[in-house]
């Protein structure tokens, strides 16, 4: 049986939708059904479900809040919650799929980050997710760590929805043009998660985003290319945020591609996603 944590979040909901399409059975939990900061609750669910596989999508993802007011909660969920899950999963012989982030890197490397590059997180969110990675590696015998970046999709809040909403009330928008990365459609990520586990790929760390790279400005231009809104590029220092953002967090996808998984470009995925929104 498959168990999903964070099943009502942006990725968890997309994963459920994909598994439903594939007629793959699973048990979905969110914090109301299984609070990962409560090890006893996790153990109770494991005893009931007896999962062979856990897709660990639960996380604290409010990047700026994690710097101050949300720091304690971020540590509780991303570090201690992951430790609780890892320990119970290892006792049960369960494989864990842990979702991580490009924010484990400092963004100072000019080339693509490989799965073997040293992490050096510069914000609290990246730090807690990296510590979560280390916990999974030290406790779990069977695990996949999937680092992703710039996530967008049908469910939850994300950059695509933000840009589309702002375009309705503004004639021009300013977007940073000095941060480089790879957008990731939740659909592509969900498909890869299932691909890795179903083909029983080698355990370890993988990077998965859509192919090609861009700046946030270029991403915004593509999102709003059919609108009359003017998009103006600005530097990061003109758009200060609480949490440090890596300037260059393009991750190497070769290990994911080597599994036989076909990765669409972010432009193709964005186009497909926007088309699906028009049909809703």
- Mean pLDDT score of the chain: 95
pLDDT digits (tens, 9 = 90+) for 187-212: 999 999 999 999 999 999 999 999 99
Query: Which is the catalytic residue, given 26, 98, 113, 125?
Result: 125
Q: What span, in angstroms and rounded, lies between the C-alpha atoms of 9 and 7?
A: 6
pLDDT digits (tens, 9 = 90+) for 3-20: 999 999 999 999 999 999
pLDDT digits (tens, 9 = 90+) for 110-121: 999 999 999 999
Task: Find the angle CA(122)-CA(160)-CA(64) to the nearest 5 degrees.
Answer: 30
Q: What's domain 2-158+184-211+250-278's architecture? A: 3-Layer(aba) Sandwich (3.40)
pLDDT digits (tens, 9 = 90+) for 219-264: 999 999 999 999 999 998 887 888 889 899 999 999 999 999 999 9
Identify whether 98 is a catalytic site residue: no
The pair of structure tokens assigned to 151 is: 């996530």
Please give the full DSSP string across 160-214, using - where no structure is assigned.
Answer: HHHHHHHHTT-SEEEEE-S-EE--EEHHHHHHHHHHHHHTTPPSEEEE---BS-E
Query: Once rounded to an integer, what is the mean pLDDT over residues 20-44?
Result: 95
Do residues 268 and 209 lie in contact, with contact meaning Cβ atoms separated by under 8 Å? no
- Rg of the chain in Å (alpha carbons): 18
Which residue is listed with tokens 């720091």? 71
Phi, psi of 148 (to 5 degrees): -135, 180
227: CB partners within 8 A, 6+ apart: 167
pLDDT digits (tens, 9 = 90+) for 162-179: 999 999 999 999 999 999
Do residues 215 and 178 lie in contact, with contact meaning Cβ atoms separated by under 8 Å? yes
Q: Is the pLDDT of residue 280 over 80?
A: no
| Greater pLDDT, 43 or 70 | 43
Q: Which long-range contacts (CB under 8 A, 24 or more apart) does 132-139 make?
A: 132/78, 132/79, 132/82, 132/98, 132/100, 133/98, 133/100, 133/104, 133/205, 135/79, 135/82, 135/83, 135/86, 136/82, 136/86, 136/96, 136/98, 139/83, 139/86, 139/87, 139/90
Taking Cα atoms as reference points, which of 191, 168, 172 lies closest to residue 234?
Answer: 172
DSSP assignment, residue 95?
Answer: E
Report the DSSP beta bridge partners of residue 148: 101
State the maximum Cα–Cα separation within the chain, in Å, rounded to a whole number. Answer: 57
> Residues 117, 123, 129, 135: is their CA dihedral positive or negative?
positive
pLDDT digits (tens, 9 = 90+) for 89-113: 999 999 999 999 999 999 999 999 9
Residue extents of the structural domains in the chain: 2-158+184-211+250-278
């Amino acid at each position: 049986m498959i168990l999903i944590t964070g099943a009502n979040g942006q990725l968890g909901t997309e994963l459920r939708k994909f598994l439903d399409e594939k007629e793959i059975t699973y048990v979905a939990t969110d914090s109301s059904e299984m609070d990962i900061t409560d090890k006893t609750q996790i153990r109770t669910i494991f005893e009931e479900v007896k999962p062979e596989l856990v897709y660990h999508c639960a996380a604290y993802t409010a990047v700026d809040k994690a710097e101050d007011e949300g720091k304690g909660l971020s540590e509780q969920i991303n570090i201690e919650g992951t430790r609780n899950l890892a320990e119970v999963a290892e006792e049960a012989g369960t494989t864990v799929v842990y979702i991580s982030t490009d924010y484990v890197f400092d963004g100072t490397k000019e080339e693509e980050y490989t799965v073997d590059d040293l992490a050096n997180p510069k914000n609290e969110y990246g730090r807690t997710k990296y510590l979560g990675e280390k916990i999974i590696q030290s406790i779990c015998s069977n695990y996949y760590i999937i680092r992703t970046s710039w996530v967008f999709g049908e469910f939850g809040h994300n950059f695509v929805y933000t840009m589309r909403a702002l375009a309705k009330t503004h004639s021009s928008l300013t977007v940073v043009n000095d941060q480089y990365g790879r957008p990731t459609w939740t659909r592509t990520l969900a498909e890869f998660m299932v691909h890795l586990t179903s083909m029983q790929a080698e355990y370890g760390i993988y990077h998965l985003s859509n192919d090609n790279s861009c700046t946030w400005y270029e991403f915004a231009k593509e999102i709003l290319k059919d609108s009359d809104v003017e998009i103006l590029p600005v530097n990061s220092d003109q758009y200060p945020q609480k949490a440090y953002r890596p300037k260059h967090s393009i991750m190497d996808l070769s290990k994911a591609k080597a599994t036989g998984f076909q990765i669409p470009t972010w432009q193709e995925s964005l186009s497909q996603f926007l088309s699906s929104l028009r049909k809703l």
